[in-house]
Amino acid sequence: MSNLLIDRLTFILFLALSLFMATTAMAQENNLNEPIAPTTSPQWLTYSGSKEKAPGNGRRIVLVAGDEEYRSEEAMPLLGRILSQELGFECIVLFSQDENGEVNPGNLTNIPGLHLIDDADLLVLFLRFRELPDEDMAHIVNYVNAGKPLMAYRTATHAFAYRDNPSSRYANWTWNSENPPGGFGGHILGETWVAHHGHHGREATRGVVPPEMKDHPIVRGADDIFGPTDVYSIRELPDDSTVLILGAVLEGMDPSDPPVTDDRNDPMMPLAWTRQRQMPDGSTQRIFVTTMGTAEDFSSPGLRRLSANAALWCTGQEDAIPASGVRANLIGPWQPTPFGFNGHRKGNYQAEDFRNGSPWAENPPSKPENPPS
Residues 238-271 pLDDT 10s: 999 999 999 999 999 999 999 999 999 999 999 9
pLDDT band, residue 368 (cuts 50/70/90)? very low
pLDDT at residue 205 in the model: 98
| pLDDT for residue 364 is more than 50 | no
| pLDDT for residue 19 is more than 90 | no
| pLDDT for residue 151 is more than 50 | yes
Measuring CA to CA, how many Å separate 268 from each of 139, 206, 247?
Answer: 36, 11, 6
Strand partners, 70: none
pTM of the model: 0.88
Our CA dihedral for 119, 125, 131, 135, rounded to 10 degrees, sits at 0
DSSP secondary structure, 319-372, as one string: GGS-TT-------S---PPPP-TT-SPPS---GGGGSSS-TT--S--SS-SS--
pLDDT band, residue 366 (cuts 50/70/90)? very low
Residue with more model confidence, 367 or 145: 145
Residue with more model confidence, 24 or 114: 114
| pLDDT for residue 87 is more than 80 | yes
Low-confidence winner among 20-24, 253-257, 319-323 (lowest mean pLDDT): 20-24
- CATH architecture for segment(s) 45-194+278-354: 3-Layer(aba) Sandwich (3.40)
Q: What percent of the chain has pLDDT over 70?
A: 87
pLDDT at residue 2 in the model: 54
Residues 53-76 pLDDT 10s: 999 999 999 999 999 999 999 999
pLDDT at residue 5 in the model: 46
Helix, strand and coil percent figures for the chain, each rounded to 5: 30, 20, 50
pLDDT at residue 8 in the model: 53
Buried/exposed code over 270-285 (b: 16+ C-beta within 10 A; e: otherwise)? bbbbbbebeeeeeeeb
| pLDDT for residue 20 is more than 90 | no
Query: What is the rounded average pLDDT of the residues 363-367?
Result: 46
Q: What is the mean pLDDT of the chain?
A: 90
pLDDT at residue 40 in the model: 82
pLDDT at residue 39 in the model: 72
Amino acid at 183: G
Rounded Cα distance between 222 and 303, Å, is 7
pLDDT at residue 363 in the model: 55
pLDDT at residue 34 in the model: 36
